[in-house]
Amino acid sequence: MAEVVSLQDGIRHLLKDGDSVALEGFTHLIPMAAGHEIIRQRKRDLTLIRLTPDLISDQLIGMGCVSKLVFSWGGNPGVGSLHRFRDAVEHSWPQPLVIDEHSHAGLTNRYVAGASGLPFAVMRGYRGTGLDEFSTTVAPIICPFTGEELRAVAAVNPDLSVIHAQRADRKGNVQLWGITGIQKEAVLAGRKSLVTVEEIVDELDPRHGDVILPSWLVTAVAMVPGGSRPSYAAGYYQRDNDFYVAWDSISRDRDTFLAWIDENVL
Amino acid sequence: MAEVVSLQDGIRHLLKDGDSVALEGFTHLIPMAAGHEIIRQRKRDLTLIRLTPDLISDQLIGMGCVSKLVFSWGGNPGVGSLHRFRDAVEHSWPQPLVIDEHSHAGLTNRYVAGASGLPFAVMRGYRGTGLDEFSTTVAPIICPFTGEELRAVAAVNPDLSVIHAQRADRKGNVQLWGITGIQKEAVLAGRKSLVTVEEIVDELDPRHGDVILPSWLVTAVAMVPGGSRPSYAAGYYQRDNDFYVAWDSISRDRDTFLAWIDENVL
Amino acid sequence: MESSETYTSDEMMSIAAARQLRNNQICFIGIGLPSKAANLARRLHAPDLIMIYESGTIGAKPTRLPLSIGDGELGETADAIVSVPEIFNYLLQPGRIDIGFLGAAQIDKFANLNSTVIGDYRKPSVRLPGAGGAPEIAGASKRVIVMLRQSTKSFVEKLPFITSLGFGTGPHDRKKYGLTGSGPVMVITDLGLLEPDPNTKELVLTHLHPNIEVEKVIESTGWTLKVADELRITELPSKAELEAIRSLVSAGS
Amino acid sequence: MESSETYTSDEMMSIAAARQLRNNQICFIGIGLPSKAANLARRLHAPDLIMIYESGTIGAKPTRLPLSIGDGELGETADAIVSVPEIFNYLLQPGRIDIGFLGAAQIDKFANLNSTVIGDYRKPSVRLPGAGGAPEIAGASKRVIVMLRQSTKSFVEKLPFITSLGFGTGPHDRKKYGLTGSGPVMVITDLGLLEPDPNTKELVLTHLHPNIEVEKVIESTGWTLKVADELRITELPSKAELEAIRSLVSAGS
């Protein structure tokens, strides 16, 4: 059964240096506050796993928390580059960044395999692309019935999976709705999981399109109102698109970036 | 886009002798009326695919529509045997019945593979059991990353997949809720699909837990109120448990069975 | 030791099974005897037992005993309903289930189960319903509990068909076949309880139900049944247990 | 032929792209230029265009141009929201998408796309965002339409990295690599339209946008560009098209 904890305690007890950590949320419900707590606790040598590394990944990378990134699209959606990500890959600042790069479909299926207790998943894809050549977590596999060649992708099972959701009840049952992306699979693939929520309520009344994560599938829940800003939480607040645009200039320069983190996160 | 048709026309135009046809619905929303229409149209040599062949399968088998059954549990839930199924397997009455037998997990993953455009799916299971020995649609597969031996199950892609749902709109968008079982995968795995519905409405207002099948994923929709009886349709009518119990004595004897079909279906 | 009330052997079996379940356990429930026992446990000492049915309901709290594993009340009272692929791939296969709770038509001394055929598979004398969820429940649940009535027809030397693997031919087969759960921990019958020997994994009679003679159990077993040195007697059904089981109304009735 | 109104080359590109979409088509929409063109088509001749975004929204009808593929309004106006695994495995992979609509940083003469790096993969001079959904959109959609601005930096002889396969090295590679869709049918730029030669699959300039000289297109291409014998001129943006594109308000603005 999930334990209700503070964000600080959740990150302190569930994540240690050197761990792999998934932070998921597809534009919506990105666990930004949890990422900031990781920065504040100065976790090091993390393998960060995320389909769409965006601002929170840029911040974690820029602050030197991440030594390896497993991802499938690393940009600022609708705006452009992630400058801290680029600086790490192009100039090893503040430290070298190892990458394990996939397509969305590929990393998605790696989570599905991880959530399913399988060592790999099968898919069409990769063949003929550079991704096939460079990734060590993609391999050929032959259909035993048709002889067709497909691709296997290795399961991903993060040491800790972190998501943000709208609500939990006091028993730790979690409810999220709207665009729920890959979050269910991320939590199920994780060896442990931490869910930050907008609020903890007595009862989870049904919401259309909701995904329920029963308490026994979650390790810990922490109440963090606004925990997804500048991403959004449907039913609570909107996406701060202006901040996403502003991030481009904040993050472009190392000193500006560090000053922003110093003022806004630390 | 799905066409709105009569049940009679739907079965007539979408299903021909010798086809494979999935009828899905897990206790809930079983497409009984569609099965009866198949009997009335005296379709022959069908491969019937169904996780839980129950009364409708018993009737189709007993009426000689089915030459092959792909299934994972063939009983009358909570009651006992399916006597027509047993009679076909044990005494080839009214004709021999070829079976391709799986576990629920196995046939489920065959639908998942079929829905996913893959020739097979990977799972843990079958090893050490008689199912592994007798099925030609299960094969060993080795994980290219860990060397672990698992099982591949062949995709199933029915010529026609039939389900029953609560509602559709006039454009053919389908909405079902409650226990929705394997129906989404069955429709997506089908080369064609027919959905019978309790009613056709102007607008599908949201229902908690609903599954939406957009019109462009469905071939045809037919309005058949009560089309699931004696199974049930959440929000419309309850399961007729008495009839499930009564079926045991109706179906035990060939003549009683034929008389019942004559009176109630033909 | 006499009961203050009379009870049937089926009631004893269900009560003995219900006692094995603990509150907050995650149980994957087969239909029939297991479903009855689990719902009985919910009314007694395990109100927060989390029942999972293969139709997709998680945490259902039915007021009546469901006739089928997809009854309407299971859906209406569930904490969540998920698709059948999620039940098997996301919840069962990764080993998240504490107790897999199964019935069967036949069992052998290594707790392998048959629910497929009597006789030859290709020309059976009795065609049974088949596997359903059982093989993977038996394979992937952390622990498995089996319930079936004991007779020489059901407790057999050699199964005509292995639907669900218990321990195969001994202590090494589960590993050999890559099964991730630890397998059957108890077989509950109308006569007593059997548990696998920790070393050989052969079933051993460890408990007799009240007023059952050990000879009766041995005679009702199709192999030479091993009996524990310290054979214990199952506790009599309590008044509360009997009241609870008799108040379980089936949805079909 | 002069337009009665002035317009930018980006507007021409978006309008030319929007014209390629038909009502009721199922389109898998990449963010950026394709999203703008698809939403423009919805406001013009294709109100029932079914847009699929990789975040999981099916049939979204946004009133503003989304900044991201997971904007709130996409979810709120969708016919259905599904999980990301469903989008890729159930909808894209089996070939249910009519048009895969992609942007890229670079393209080569066989319509292979790069959105990963400029320079060496292990030590890139410019690290781009990467693949996202593009490789499988390019592989599995029935047909693919590509949009990117034309220059010798973007239209290159040899890609540093193939993120998404167009035709590989010629007409046989899609089959060889098991790609199920038929591949790119058109590349829409700010200068004109390119289409693959039916036999060689090499891109051929088939349309010039109004007031663009063919020499300009050839100079803006990093390989020796083939030009169709019958080079046609794209129709001028209509008043309605220009009004529609200018009324597209971005969610970010």
Domains of chain D, by residue range, sit at 1-97+237-253, 98-234
- Listed in sequence order, the residues at least 6 apart from C66 whose beta carbon sits closer than 8 Å to its beta carbon are B78, C31, C35, C53, C73, C74, C251
Q: Do chains D and C touch (3 or more CB pairs under 8 A)?
A: no
Cis-peptide into A230, omega within 30 deg: yes
- What chain C residue is nearest to B244 in terms of C-alpha separation? C252
pLDDT band at C253, cuts 50/70/90?
very low
**Which tens digit of pLDDT belongs to each residue from B249-259?**
999 999 999 99
The segments of chain A whose pLDDT lies below 50 read none
Catalytic residue status for C54:
yes
Residue C20's pLDDT is: 97
E strands, chain B, in order:
3-5, 20-23, 46-50, 66-71, 75-76, 80-81, 98-101, 120-123, 138-142, 149-154, 160-169, 174-176, 192-201, 211-213, 220-223
Predicted-complex ipTM score: 0.97
pLDDT higher than 80, residue B247: yes
pLDDT band at C68, cuts 50/70/90?
confident
pLDDT higher than 50, residue C108: yes
| Cα C27 → chain centroid | 11
**Which candidate in D2, D5, D54, D243 is catalytic?**
D54
Residue C1's pLDDT is: 42
pLDDT higher than 80, residue C252: no
β-pairing verdict for D113-114 and D106-107: antiparallel
**CA-CA distance, C134 to C166, in Å (whole number)?**
11
Closest CB to A116 among C50, C80, C93? C93
Average pLDDT over residues D237-252: 88
Q: Do C89 and A115 touch (CB under 8 A)?
A: yes
Residue C203's pLDDT is: 98
Q: Do B115 and D96 touch (CB under 8 A)?
A: no
Residue C4's pLDDT is: 58
Residue D72's pLDDT is: 87
- Residue that has been written with the tokens 């998605």 in this structure: A108
Residues 187-226 of D with CB under 8 A from B: none
pLDDT higher than 90, residue D101: yes
Bridge partners (DSSP) of residue B68 are: B47, B98
- Residue that has been written with the tokens 């998240």 in this structure: C96
**CA-CA distance, A83 to A257, in Å (whole number)?**
10
Residue D70's pLDDT is: 83
**Which tens digit of pLDDT belongs to each residue from C210-232?**
999 999 999 999 999 999 999 99
Q: Do C165 and B244 touch (CB under 8 A)?
A: no
Q: Which of B108, B112, B116, B120 would you mutate first to test chain A, the one with the most A CBs within 10 A?
A: B120
- What chain B residue is nearest to C119 in terms of C-alpha separation? B90
Residue D185's pLDDT is: 98
Residue B143's pLDDT is: 98
Element (H, E) at C239: helix C239-247
Residue A188's pLDDT is: 98
pLDDT higher than 80, residue B262: yes
**CA-CA distance, C163 to C30, in Å (whole number)?**
14
Say if pTM beats, i.e. exceeds, 0.80. Answer: yes
Q: Do C116 and B238 touch (CB under 8 A)?
A: no
Burial class (CB in 10 A: 0-12, 13-18, 19+), A249: exposed
Considering chain B, what is the average pLDDT of its residues? 97
- Residue that has been written with the tokens 């959606």 in this structure: A77
Q: Which CATH number fits domain D98-234: 3.30.465.10, 3.90.380.10, 3.40.1080.10, 1.10.3210.10?
A: 3.40.1080.10
The residue extents of the domains of chain B are: 3-102+157-242, 104-154
**Which tens digit of pLDDT belongs to each residue from D194-224?**
999 999 999 999 999 999 999 999 999 999 9
β-pairing verdict for A20-23 and B20-23: unpaired
Q: What percent of chain C has pLDDT over 90?
A: 89
pLDDT band at C2, cuts 50/70/90?
very low
Burial class (CB in 10 A: 0-12, 13-18, 19+), C246: exposed
Q: Are A7 and A177 in contact (CB under 8 A)?
A: no
Q: What percent of chain D has pLDDT over 70?
A: 97
What architecture (CATH level 2) is domain B3-102+157-242?
3-Layer(aba) Sandwich (3.40)
pLDDT higher than 70, residue D2: no
What are phi and psi for residue B222, nearest 5 degrees? -130, 135
pLDDT higher than 80, residue C71: yes
**Which tens digit of pLDDT belongs to each residue from B138-181?**
999 999 999 999 999 999 999 999 999 999 999 999 999 999 99
Q: Are A57 and A23 in contact (CB under 8 A)?
A: yes
What are phi and psi for residue A114, nearest 5 degrees? -60, -40
- Residue that has been written with the tokens 């005897």 in this structure: C33
What architecture (CATH level 2) is domain D1-97+237-253?
3-Layer(aba) Sandwich (3.40)
Closest CB to A173 among C79, C93, C180? C79
SS3 for B71? strand
DSSP string for residues in C148-208 = ----TTTB-SS-S--SB-SSTTSTTHHHHTT--S--EEEEE-SSEEEEE-TTT--EEEEEE
> What does the longest C-alpha to C-alpha distance in chain A come to?
59
pLDDT higher than 70, residue B133: yes
Cα dihedral angle (A214, A220, A225, A228), rounded to 10 degrees? -90
The residue among A75 and C4 whose pLDDT is bigger is A75
> Token pair of A145, please?
């019935």
Chains that contact D by 3+ CB pairs under 8 Å?
Answer: A, B
- What chain C residue is nearest to B238 in terms of C-alpha separation? C72
Chains that contact C by 3+ CB pairs under 8 Å?
Answer: A, B
> Which residue type is seen at D175?
K
**Which candidate in C54, C136, C202, C241 is catalytic?**
C54
**CA-CA distance, A114 to A154, in Å (whole number)?**
8
What are phi and psi for residue B41, nearest 5 degrees? -85, 5
- What chain A residue is nearest to D91 in terms of C-alpha separation? A105
Considering chain D, what is the average pLDDT of its residues? 94
Nearest Cα neighbor of B155 from A182, D52, A150, A112 is: A150
Bridge partners (DSSP) of residue B220 are: B3, B194
- Tell me how close the Cα of C4 comes to any Cα of chain B, in angstroms: 32
pLDDT higher than 60, residue B248: yes
Q: Do C79 and A117 touch (CB under 8 A)?
A: no
Residue D93's pLDDT is: 98
Q: Do C96 and A217 touch (CB under 8 A)?
A: yes
